[in-house]
C-alpha cells in the first residue's frame, strides 16, 4: 500500500479524487472532512477509514514499507537460503536435504503470495528463485539417492 494518491468516499456516497495524501490529511486536520470519510488507495484499491489512518503512527523516514510489517521479503529470503542449503546437503547429508527443500518450497509459496498482495516485484522474483532452488534441491536429492543406490554406494 502506497497511499500516495487517494480517492475519498464521503458518508453520503459521493466519491472524489484523486487527491494527494498530504492534501487529505491537511483537510482532515482543518476539520473539512466528515468523520466517516473512507480513503481509497489509488494504486491498490484498499480502503481505510480516514480517522483510523490519521491515528496510525508515522513510519520513520528511510525505512522501506516491507520493514514496517510486510513479510514477503522475509519469506522469500529464507526460501532462497533453505533452497541453497537443500542443494548443498543433497551431496553430503541426506537427512537434512528434504526438510530444507520442503521448507524452501513452503516459504517460497508464502513469500510469492504475500509479494503479489503487496505488489512487490523484487520479493516476487526472490520467492520464485526460492521455489526453483527448493525444487532443484529435492530433485537432486532424489536423483543422487537413486544413482547411489543403483551403484551400491548407499
The domain that contains 21 carries what CATH number? 3.30.1490
pLDDT tens per residue across span 111-145: 998 888 877 888 899 999 999 999 999 999 988 88
Residue 61 lies in a domain: no
116's grid cell = 503479489
pLDDT tens per residue across span 59-114: 445 445 444 446 778 899 999 999 999 999 988 877 889 999 999 999 999 999 88
Among 4, 59, 50, smallest CA distance to 31 is for 50
- How far is it, in rounded angstroms, from Cα 28 to Cα 18? 16
Q: What is the pLDDT of residue 55?
A: 57
Domain match, 83 and 119 both: yes
CA quadruple 80, 83, 87, 89: dihedral, nearest 10: 110
Residue 63 lies in a domain: no
Q: How many domains does the chain have?
A: 2
Q: Which domain, by its residues, includes 77?
A: 70-151
**Interval 19-26 mean pLDDT:** 83
Say if strands 38-41 and 5-9 run parallel, antiparallel, or are unpaired.
antiparallel
Domain match, 16 and 49 both: yes
Amino acid at each position: 500500500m502506497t497511499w500516495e494518491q487517494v480517492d475519498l468516499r464521503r458518508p453520503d456516497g459521493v466519491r472524489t479524487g484523486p487527491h494527494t495524501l498530504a492534501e487529505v490529511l491537511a483537510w482532515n486536520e482543518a476539520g473539512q472532512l466528515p468523520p466517516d470519510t473512507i480513503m481509497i488507495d489509488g494504486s491498490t484499491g484498499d480502503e481505510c477509514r480516514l480517522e483510523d489512518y490519521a491515528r496510525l503512527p508515522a513510519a520513520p523516514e528511510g525505512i522501506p514499507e516491507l520493514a514496517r510489517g510486510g513479510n514477503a521479503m522475509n519469506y522469500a529470503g529464507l526460501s532462497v537460503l533453505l533452497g541453497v542449503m537443500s542443494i548443498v546437503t543433497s551431496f553430503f547429508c541426506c537427512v537434512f536435504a528434504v526438510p530444507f527443500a520442503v521448507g524452501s518450497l513452503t516459504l517460497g509459496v508464502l513469500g510469492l503470495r504475500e509479494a503479489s498482495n503487496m505488489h512487490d516485484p523484487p520479493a516476487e522474483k526472490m520467492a520464485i528463485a526460492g521455489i526453483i532452488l527448493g525444487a532443484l534441491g529435492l530433485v537432486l536429492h532424489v536423483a543422487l539417492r537413486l544413482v547411489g543406490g543403483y551403484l551400491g554406494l548407499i
